[in-house]
A and B are shown apart, each in its own frame.
Chain A
Amino acid sequence: MKSYYGRQLVHAKANKVPENIISSAAFIGNVCQRCGQNVHGKLPNDHFYCRACLALGRVSSLDVLLSFPEPNHFDGNDILSWNGQLTQQQKVVSDELLETLSRQREHLVWAVTGAGKTEMLFPVIHQALSQQYRIAIVSPRVDVILELTPRLQQAFSQTDKVVLHGAQTEEYRYTPLVLATTHQMLRFKSAFDLLIVDEVDSFPYAGDQMLAHAVKNARKINSAVIYLSATPTKTLQQQVKRQSLTTSYLPLRFHQHLLPVLKTAIVGPWRKKLPLKFLRQIKQFSQTKRRFLIFVPKVSDLVSVYQNIKKDFPDMFGDHVYAGDPKRQEKVQNMRDQMIQYLVTTTILERGVTFPGIDVLILGADEKIFSENALVQIAGRVGRNKDRPTGLVKAYIQHTNFKVMAAQRQIRQMNKRGRRLGGRV
Chain B
Amino acid sequence: MGCLGCGRQQTNNQLCHDCYRWQQKGKKLLNHTALYQYNDAMRQFMQQYKFNGDYDLRVIFNCVLSQKINILNADIIVPIPVSDHTMVTRGFNQTTGLIEGIQYEQLLKVSAGQKSHQSQFNRKIRMMRKQPFMLIEQVSLEGKEILLVDDVYTTGNTLYHAADLLYECGAKNVKSISLSR
Contact = CB atoms under 8 A, between A and B. Distances in A.
B91 A44 contact: yes
Interface string A8-50: 0000111100000000000000000000000001111101010
B88 interface: yes
Interface in B80-106: 85, 88-89, 91-93
B132 interface: no
A58 interface: yes
Interface residues of B, number: 11
A14 B55 contact: no
A347 interface: no
B151 to A, nearest CB: 16
A247 interface: no
A14 B90 CA distance: 11
Interface string A362-379: 000000000000000000
Contacts of B93: 44
A62 B88 contact: yes
Contact of B91 (A15, A49, A51): A49
A15 B89 contact: yes
Contacts of B89: 12, 14-15, 62
A43 B85 contact: no
A62 B91 CA distance: 7
A94 interface: no
Contact of A49 (B53, B85, B88): B53
B168 interface: no
A43 B91 contact: yes
Interface residues of A, number: 17
A57 interface: yes
Contacts of B92: 43-44
Nearest to A47: B91
Contacts of A425: none
Contacts of B52: 54, 57-58
A15 to B, nearest CB: 7
A12 B88 contact: yes
Nearest to B96: A44
A60 interface: yes
Contacts of B91: 43-45, 47, 49, 60, 62
Interface in B10-31: none
Given A43-B91, A43-B92, A54 B54 contact: yes
B113 to A, nearest CB: 15
A58 B85 contact: no
Nearest to A59: B53
Contacts of B54: 41, 49, 54, 58
B55 A41 contact: yes
Contacts of B85: 14
A14 B53 contact: no
A43 B97 CA distance: 10
Interface string A75-113: 000000000000000000000000000000000000000
A389 B13 CA distance: 68
Contacts of A42: 55-56
Nearest to B91: A43
A57 B55 CA distance: 13
Nearest to B57: A41
Contacts of A41: 54-56
Interface of B: 52-56, 85, 88-89, 91-93
Given A14-B88, A58-B53, A60-B53, 20 more contacts: A12-B88, A12-B89, A13-B88, A15-B89, A41-B54, A42-B56, A43-B55, A43-B91, A43-B92, A44-B91, A44-B92, A45-B91, A49-B53, A49-B54, A51-B56, A54-B52, A57-B52, A58-B52, A60-B91, A62-B91
26 contacts: A12-B88, A12-B89, A13-B88, A14-B85, A14-B88, A14-B89, A41-B54, A41-B55, A41-B56, A42-B55, A42-B56, A43-B55, A43-B91, A44-B93, A45-B91, A49-B53, A49-B54, A49-B55, A49-B91, A51-B56, A54-B54, A57-B52, A58-B52, A58-B53, A60-B91, A62-B89
Interface of A: 12-15, 41-45, 47, 49, 51, 54, 57-58, 60, 62
